[in-house]
Amino acid sequence: MPLPISNSRQVAVADGTAERVVAVADLAVSLGVDALIRLHEADFAGLAGVGRDLVHFNLERTINRAGLRYALLPILRPGFRRPGGPEELPVLDPTRFRTGLCVEVRQRVPVAAVTPELFRVSLPTIRDADALAAALVRRYAGLFPDLCPADLVARGCAITRLRLDER
């Protein structure tokens, strides 16, 4: 059974010293894109070392689609799921973002099957299968607290290839 996808309809954004919940579609329109890709702060910082091509990895599967334009935004506070309760929305910083076109999406790829060519255009901290496995655990353990690290990694990854806009 596939894991649930994070809330794709709403997200929280930093608004001065407060936070507010906004519709993802509205935020995307305000940034001039079709949709959003959320990056943990350290991953977002790694974009500075990336050229025009970027491969981004999600756990298991993604709703990203080839042909759509995306804004990549930093997560200020990750979301999480409370046992038996709703998902706590991540908080994003809408003042910092990169944009690009999604050119390919692959779903449910075993971590061991990710090729060196894909790692070469990934974030600087994800250059091999071990680093990818560690990143998936770091990003998703809070969302799926009932899964141990080995079970998270065994679910595979989604691969999103992007052509980033010039800065």
pLDDT tens-digit readout, 23-36: 999 999 999 999 99
pLDDT at 115: 98
Confidence band, pLDDT 50/70/90 cuts, at residue 86: confident
- The structure tokens 């595979």 sit at 156
DSSP 138-159: HHHTTT-TTS-HHHHHHT-EEE
Q: What percent of the chain has pLDDT over 70?
A: 95
pLDDT at 7 over 80: no
Lowest mean pLDDT among 55-59, 77-81, 118-122: 77-81
Nearest 5 degrees, angle CA 106-CA 111-CA 113?
75
Q: pLDDT tens-digit profile of 88-143?
A: 888 999 999 999 999 999 999 999 999 999 999 999 999 999 999 999 999 988 88
Measure CA 72 to chain center.
8
